[in-house]
Amino acid sequence: MSDREDSFYWQKRVKELEEKVEQLRLSRRVLMNLIEKIEKERCIHLARLEKENRKLHSLNGRFARSLLSKNIQIRELEAKLQDYSREDSL
Q: Where are the domains of the chain?
A: 1-90
Q: Are 39 and 31 in contact (CB under 8 A)?
A: no
- pLDDT value at position 83? 87
Residues 6 or more apart whose CB falls under 8 angstroms from that of 9 comprise 1
For the chain, give the secondary structure using H, E and C: CCHHHHHHHHHHHHHHHHHHHHHHHHHHHHHHHHHHHHHHHHHHHHHHHHHHHHHHHHHHHHHHHHHHHHHHHHHHHHHHHHHHHHHHHC
Tell me how far apart the terminal alpha carbons of the chain are, to the nearest angstrom: 127
Digitized pLDDT (tens) for each residue of the chain, 90 residues in all? 688 889 999 999 999 999 999 999 999 999 999 999 999 999 999 999 999 999 999 999 999 999 999 999 999 999 999 988 887 776
Cα separation, 84 vs 76, in Å, equals: 12
pLDDT tens-digit readout, 5-28: 899 999 999 999 999 999 999 999
pTM equals 0.63
